Structures are given as C-alpha cells and as structure tokens.
C-alpha cells in the first residue's frame, strides 16, 4: 500500500505555512510558506485612504485562502504525492482572530458598500481597540462564577469585546453580519461548507464551557442589548472537540487545491495550542511554552482550578479527557523585533554587517558577554500589554536603571530577561494554586535560534528547560489532528493519543540552570515583581498615558 499523508496548515500573524507529513512516521516531507499580501493593517485599509484608529490590527480574509491555493498545489508538485494519498487536513490559527460574514461565509468586507468599513474586516488577535468594552464586561462580571475560569478577567483580545466594539462603533456592520467567526472556523467552513466551532477557541476566547455552555442571556443583555441572543444568532454553531472531523472537502475546493473530494478536514485549533500535541505532550505535568511573536503557556491537568490572571481553563480544550490551562505574554518575539527595528543605532547595524551577522545575532553575541545584573537594568515586557497575570492591554513597557553609559546590548539583554521573568511569574502562579509543573518545554522558532535566551530562561527559572527542535510544532500538531479526523480505516488514527505517539517530534536539547546566577536573578526578579505591582495596581499612570495616545 502506498504511503498516506496529511496536511498541517498553520496560520500565523504574518504568513501561513502548509506542511505535508507522513502519517505512519510523522516525518515532515516538505513545507510551503505564503506571506499574506496585505500583512497586518494598522494604519489604512487596502483602499489606501481609509485611516485606522490606534490599537487597530486588521487583516484581509482572502489572504488566508491564498495560503491554500498557492501552497498546496506547489507542495503536491514538489513532492510528487498524488491527491488520493492525502487523507486529511488539520488547521491551526491565531486566536482570537475574528471576521463578520454572511450566511454563506462571504466576508462582509468583500460586499459592495463595506470595502471601506474597518469593522467589516478581520480583527486580528492583537487588535486591542476593544479595551473599553472589555473593561465594561469585567466590571459587570466581577461577581459571576464563570469568570473565575478565566482568571477573573476577560481580555480585549477575545470574541465578545471585539463583537461589542462593532455593535457600538459601527452598528450597521453589526446588523448586516450574519455570523461572527473565528478565522480558523471560517477556513474550515470554506473547505467543507459546514459551520463548526472548535472547542479550543470557543472555550478560551468565546466564554464557552463544556458542561455549562455559554454565559446566560440576562448577563449579555446587560452588557449590550444587541448581544442578548448573540450565541443563538450571530455566534451560533455546534461546538466540536479537537480530533473530531469537521467535514469533508467539497468538490469545488478539491478542484481548486488539487486534492481529492471528500478528504477529511479536522476541527480547528488555536495555533499555539496545536504545539502541545506537536511536541509529544499527552499527559499532565509539562508546561509547554510556545514562543513566537508572543508566548503561550499551555498545561494539561486532570483537575479544574481557578487560577487568577490566566487566559482560561477549558475541559477538552486541547486534548480530550483533560483540563487544559492557558496563560501568556503578549510580546516576546515582537518585543525583540521592535527593539531591533526601532531602537538600535546605526553603528550597531554597521558592526553587525561588518561581521556578516544579523542585528539579532550580533546583539545576542554582545549580550552573551554580559553577566547577570551587570548592566543594572530591569525591564517590564508589556510593550503589547499584559496577558498574565494582569490581563490589561493598556499597560506598557518600562526600563529602569538606564544611564548615559547604557549600551544597546545591555538593553537587549534586559528585554530577554524580562520575558523570562514574565514566564517565572506564570510558573509560580500555577504552582501556588495547586497545578504542579514537573517539566518545562519550549518550542517555536525563537528557542531553536537563540541559545542565550533559553539559558537565561533556565537560569531565571532555576529549572531545566527542554527545547523541542521542531520549530514547526503547531503545523505538526494540526497535521496530527488531521490524521485523527481521517480515521484508522483510511490509514489515519482512531484517537489523538495514538496519533501523538506515532507522529510527534522528539528531537530535543536541554538547558540546565547555572546555580551561580540564582542569587542575582532572584534579586532582579524581586525588582520585576515590585515594578509589576506598582504599575498594574498602585497607579493608573500607564492606563492614562495609553488613553492620551488614543
């Protein structure tokens, strides 16, 4: 019998990646990356004249379909794999990334009269213009039991604040919308013709609970009259568990993509969360850090505990049979990129060029020559707001200790350390609430590329940090779910655990903490915590400054 394969489609912030994987071995045969032609819209719509407000981050839905129509045919041609050998498709997507559509899944921004309306476009996960709506929701929900599952606070990044923003700012777009969809569910719908909502996004970003369902209509009516029946109308659709089959590839899409009609399409999953099966984690006790533009911290448990400041705990949120916890930091790779793009002087750029290194590589080399605490700096990693533990996207970055003698590499190292301090806060928060962590695993492009960063994490956490060297763990995780959706009778798997055992990546390297760094980093961490508490709880200075910008 010929080998059979699955496609793992990983939708990130700037591009989409399609991976083709051998079902029997998990070998990643080939990949194709397609950049979104319109990127992230933060200043103007594609018309070039409609200006966008601050904290806005939009995208064009056709860019997501371009990933499919460009990457999949190229992959099949590159590998000489026949269409009938591809038995399943799995999709992961950034979240909460949402778009308004008609009943037949046509994006509102593609309809005549709405091409110049910002709220008719995709709102990307890092669209933070719904902070006022999130604050109203949190004020009303402070005594509600269900909000404790989300650490006591709902983020401006989530579904209801974004939908509420549309209802308040552009009610005509809200009224015209038939469905508000997570972008991952929209792609699934375009492939299959079926309206299915994945339990991962619904649970973590849509306030759905496996036992209790959605929040009640009385609360929603108090929030906004237009939202009273929102889950029965514009957010309708069956919530399906990960590993389930969302549907089969339609004849139309099969012809466009060069695949076989009827190919199984899995229920979608959040991009970071797909990394957990991709790294081989199938049991409690391992905290997986998915490190990219931001970092998502994921953890399985056999019990549900209310942990303040986390993004949520969802039964069957990642793997069937477990409660899955999510926490996170809103800027990690984005923070390092911002510093390199906006703060590095020309002489550093020239020195890097002279050595044949990228600016990141050169700054990492210089930062590696510094000892912990040598620069006298401590920073807060809130340049894109704070997820865990404060859940406040209006918080902002801080560096304390700068002098006229401070050098770029010292600042760069301070930002590397700040992200590690943020992760230590999360680890200690989980353990303080009875969720034990026995192992730390890092995955994504950053851990593989930056050994200094991972050594800093080990030193600050004073724990071993294991890096999974497969930088495409989310795409592999999506492929694993595609193999389960295909089913054993077609050459796939009959359950998620079996697919993880057969297909996940296990190539790793482990960083061991340097005991000599412990005392200095404990001192710096104490300073980080003092700064955090001051700016998050003891003053509203950052919130006021953010309000002035807007």
Q: What is the pLDDT of residues 24-63, one digit of tens each?
A: 999 999 999 999 999 999 999 999 999 999 999 999 999 9
Tell me what pLDDT residue 416 has. 98
35 to 60, 65, 66, 70, 93: CA distances (angstroms)? 12, 11, 9, 10, 14
Q: Please give the pLDDT value at position 550.
A: 59
The parts of the chain modelled with pLDDT lower than 70 are: 1, 550
**Which is nearest to 209 in space by CA: 197, 223, 194, 199?**
199
pLDDT on residue 368 = 98
Q: How many other CB atoms are found less than 10 A from the CB of residue 421?
A: 26
**Separation between Cα atoms, residue 202 and residue 199, nearest integer Å:** 5
Question: Residue 547 has what pLDDT?
Answer: 87
List 328's β-bridge partners, or say none.
296
**Residue whose token pair is 């402070």:** 142
User: What is residue 471's predicted lDDT score, i.e. its pLDDT?
Assistant: 83
- What is the per-residue pLDDT for 421? 98
The C-alpha R_g of the chain, in whole angstroms, comes to: 23
Full-model pTM: 0.88
Strand partners, 6: 21, 88
CB 13 within 8 A of CB 35: no
Q: Which residues pair with 181 in a beta bridge?
A: 99
Spatial CA neighbour of 123 closest among 148, 155, 149, 152: 155
pLDDT for the residue numbered 1: 47
- Give SS3 for 189: helix
């Amino acid at each position: 019998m010929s080998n059979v394969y699955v496609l793992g489609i990983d939708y990130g912030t700037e591009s989409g990646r399609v991976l083709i994987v051998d079902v029997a071995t998990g070998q990643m045969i080939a990949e194709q990356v397609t950049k979104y032609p319109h990127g992230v819209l933060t200043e103007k719509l594609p018309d070039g004249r409609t200006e966008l407000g601050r904290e806005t981050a939009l995208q064009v839905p056709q860019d997501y379909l371009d990933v499919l129509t460009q990457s999949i045919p190229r992959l099949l041609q590159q590998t000489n794999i026949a269409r009938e050998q591809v038995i399943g498709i799995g999709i992961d997507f950034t979240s909460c990334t949402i778009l308004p559509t008609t009943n037949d899944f046509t994006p509102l921004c593609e309809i005549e009269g709405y091409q110049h309306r910002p709220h008719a476009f995709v709102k990307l996960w890092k669209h933070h213009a719904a902070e006022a709506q999130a604050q109203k929701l949190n004020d009303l929900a402070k005594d509600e039991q269900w909000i404790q599952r989300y650490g006591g606070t709902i983020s401006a990044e989530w579904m209801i604040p974004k939908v509420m923003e549309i209802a308040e700012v552009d009610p005509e777009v809200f009224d015209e919308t038939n469905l508000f969809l997570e972008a991952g569910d929209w792609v699934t719908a375009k492939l299959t013709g079926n309206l299915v909502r994945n339990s991962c996004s619904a649970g973590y970003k849509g306030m759905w609970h496996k036992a209790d369902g959605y929040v009640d209509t009385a609360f929603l009516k108090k929030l906004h009259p237009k939202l009273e029946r929102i889950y029965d109308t514009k957010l309708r659709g069956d919530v399906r568990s990960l590993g389930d089959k969302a549907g089969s590839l339609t004849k139309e899409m099969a012809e466009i993509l060069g695949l076989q009609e009827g190919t199984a399409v899995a229920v979608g999953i959040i991009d970071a969360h797909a990394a957990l099966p991709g790294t081989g984690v199938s049991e409690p006790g391992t905290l997986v850090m998915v490190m990219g533009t931001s970092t998502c911290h994921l953890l399985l448990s056999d019990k549900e505990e209310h942990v303040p400041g986390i993004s949520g705990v969802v039964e069957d949120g990642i793997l069937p049979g477990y409660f899955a916890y999510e926490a996170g930091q809103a800027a990690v790779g984005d923070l390092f990129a911002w510093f390199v793009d906006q703060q590095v002087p020309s002489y550093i750029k020239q020195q890097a060029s002279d050595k044949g290194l990228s600016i990141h590589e050169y700054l990492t080399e210089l930062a590696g020559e510094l000892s912990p605490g040598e620069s006298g700096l401590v920073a807060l990693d809130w340049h894109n707001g704070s997820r865990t533990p404060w859940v406040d996207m209006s918080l902002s970055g801080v560096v304390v200790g700068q002098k006229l003698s401070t050098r770029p590499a010292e600042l760069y190292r301070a930002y590397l350390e700040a992200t590690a301090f943020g992760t230590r806060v999360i680890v200690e928060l989980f353990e303080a609430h009875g969720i034990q962590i026995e192992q730390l695993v890092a995955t994504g492009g950053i851990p593989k590329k930056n050994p200094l960063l991972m050594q800093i994490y080990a030193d600050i956490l004073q724990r071993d940090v294991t890096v999974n060297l497969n930088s495409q763990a989310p795409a592999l995780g999506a492929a694993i779910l595609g193999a389960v959706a295909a089913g054993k009778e077609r050459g796939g798997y009959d359950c998620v655990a079996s697919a993880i055992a057969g297909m996940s990546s296990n190539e790793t390297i482990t960083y061991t903490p340097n005991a000599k760094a412990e005392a200095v980093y404990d001192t710096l961490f104490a300073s980080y915590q003092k700064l955090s508490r001051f700016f998050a709880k003891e003053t509203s200075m950052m919130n006021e400054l953010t309000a002035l910008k807007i």
